[in-house]
Amino acid sequence: MCQHVESTEINCLLCKNVRLLICLCSPFRCRSLPAQRKIYMRSPPIPEMATQEVQLNETLAHLKTESETLKSKLEEERAKLHDVELHQVAEKVEGLGQFVMKTRRTLKGHGNKVLCMDWCKDKRRIVSSSQDGKVIVWDAFTTNKEHAVTMPCTWVMACAYAPSGCAVACGGLDNKCSVYPLSLDKNENLAAKKKSVAMHTNYLSACSFTNSDMQILTSSGDGTCALWDVESGQLLQSFHGHAADVLCLDLAPSETGNTFVSGGCDKKANVWDMRSGQCIQSFETHESDINSVRYYPSGDAFASGSDDATCRLYDLRADREVAIYSKESIIFGVSSVDFSLSGRLLFGGYNDYTINVWDVLKGTRVSILFGHENRVSTLRVSPDGTAFCTGSWDHTLRIWA
């Protein structure tokens, strides 16, 4: 039996009326077991087909062959431009020296696994959310807690700070994304001012404000991403294309335009146009669920971290994977990735409780950091790049510099 199963008798998230012996829904799925497959319920076998059926089948076969041809054409086009590897081009770049990064602050206060965190643009405040439903806003310099909200659900898997610093958004098993305006008055009950913005049909896995406080982008276990207007709660655009749960998303840096990338349990990372809702590029080289995606600071590439224990760099203009960050000794999945300010360093939080620091250009590991006592679930570099923060299942957050 997997040791990560929390309880053997809980309500199924899908068939809410039925108590199952073991809940098999994805938030409780053990990620350390290889490639868990979902069983899709198939409708009963199709009876004898009429002639119309035969015609439809021919069209289907025709479409299938066309899609196969297109796929191989795509591979061909991509391979034509693959003249050199990134690490070969980077041989002439100076190597990096030794890095000494230590835990500078430990934020204690969560009663259960920390699942997500985000920095405020003031480079000082942090919002974090945990399995027990608590969302806490910290001052990272002093380690004081500034605000605390208790969500009505457990497993708050997503939280985000608004660009203005005046609100936080969070959500999880409640299938919603709620926005809480932060007030200066510490005694005010934040929960009273809560505004429900997004509504999905399955758990919320990630959320992010766009350039303003007015719009939120969310991704969900129902396989879709969506863009919402905060004020009215209206759905502005939805993004369909993933064949399974979407686990993460990241918006392109504001200078480079209106796109975002999402990664999911279907092993695909998709790049979307926010205005049209169209998927413009898709990458499928990972061997397992993609847990985290992050844009390169220039916006021309993005990195992904997956349960297959590798991080990969995909270049958007070359339309292919250009680097893999892996080692034979690393067998545990990556839960979160982020770049340093220049994009030279890639930080990865792993399920084996460590943080590996990679040289993005050369593809080598420059450092491994220890400190957490359980798996690292979230990792973000601060907006000015002076430090990065990690959250872990050991109930703490650590600031490293």
Partner 1 sequence: MQNLLCTNPSFSPVLIHNFSLLSFIYSVALPRMSSKAHSSNNIAHARRTVQQLRIEASIERIKVSKASADLMNYCSEHARNDPLLMGIPASDNPFKDKKPCTIL
Site for partner 1 in 108-167 (CB under 8 A): 124, 140-141
Q: What distances in angstroms separate CA 261 from CA 33, 184, 349, one per listed residue?
A: 26, 34, 19
Residue 7 interacting with partner 1 (CB under 8 A): no
- Interface pattern 265-284 for partner 1 (x via CB under 8 A): -------------xxxxx--
Residue of the chain from 387, 392, 393, 395 that contacts partner 1 (CB under 8 A) = 387
Other C-beta atoms closer than 10 Å to the C-beta of 75 total: 11
Residue 40 interacting with partner 1 (CB under 8 A): yes
> Rounded CA gap, 217 and 177, in Å?
10
Tell me which residues in 364-383 interact with partner 1 (CB under 8 A).
381
Residue 35 interacting with partner 1 (CB under 8 A): no
Please compute Rg for the chain using Cα positions. 22
Q: Are 197 and 177 in contact (CB under 8 A)?
A: yes
**Residue 121 CA to chain centroid, in angstroms?**
20
Residue 85 interacting with partner 1 (CB under 8 A): yes
Q: Degrees (nearest 5) of the Cα angle 260, 361, 333?
A: 65
* Element at 160 (helix H, strand E): strand 158-161
Q: How far is the CB of 28 from partner 1 (least distance, A)?
A: 9
Q: Which is nearer to partner 1, 78 or 108 (CB)?
A: 78
Residue 385 interacting with partner 1 (CB under 8 A): yes
Contacts of 14 (CB under 8 A, 6+ apart): 25
Residue 29 interacting with partner 1 (CB under 8 A): yes
User: Judging by beta carbons within 10 Å of its beta carbon (0-12, 13-18, 19+), is residue 365 exposed, middle or buried?
Assistant: middle
Residue of the chain from 17, 51, 187, 329 that contacts partner 1 (CB under 8 A) = 17
β-pair partners for 261: 250, 271
Q: How far is the CB of 119 from partner 1 (least distance, A)?
A: 13
Residue of the chain from 49, 166, 235, 331 that contacts partner 1 (CB under 8 A) = 49
Tell me which residues in 303-332 interact with partner 1 (CB under 8 A).
315, 317-320, 322
Q: Which is nearer to partner 1, 24 or 214 (CB)?
A: 24
Token digits for 92?
A: 């002439």
Residue 296 interacting with partner 1 (CB under 8 A): yes
Residue of the chain from 136, 360, 369, 376 that contacts partner 1 (CB under 8 A) = 360
Residue carrying the six token digits 């027990």: 132
Amino acid at site 401: A
3-class secondary structure, 249:
strand
Residue 10 interacting with partner 1 (CB under 8 A): no
Residue of the chain from 56, 191, 235, 331 that contacts partner 1 (CB under 8 A) = 56
The candidate with the shortest Cα–Cα distance to 344, out of 372, 326, 323, 320, is 323
Residue 77 interacting with partner 1 (CB under 8 A): yes
Q: How far is the CB of 389 from partner 1 (least distance, A)?
A: 10
Residue of the chain from 105, 145, 195, 365 that contacts partner 1 (CB under 8 A) = 105
The residue range among 126-134, 177-185, 250-258, 334-342 that interacts with partner 1, by the rule CB under 8 A, is: 334-342
Residue of the chain from 3, 7, 43, 51 that contacts partner 1 (CB under 8 A) = 43
Token digits for 307?
A: 């349960």
The candidate with the shortest Cα–Cα distance to 357, out of 373, 372, 339, 342, is 339
Interface size with partner 1, residues (CB under 8 A): 94
The candidate with the shortest Cα–Cα distance to 206, out of 232, 187, 224, 188, is 224
Tell me which residues in 182-241 interact with partner 1 (CB under 8 A).
241
Q: Which is nearer to partner 1, 140 or 261 (CB)?
A: 140
Residue 107 interacting with partner 1 (CB under 8 A): no
Residue 246 interacting with partner 1 (CB under 8 A): no
3-class secondary structure, 67:
helix
Q: Are 262 and 222 in contact (CB under 8 A)?
A: no
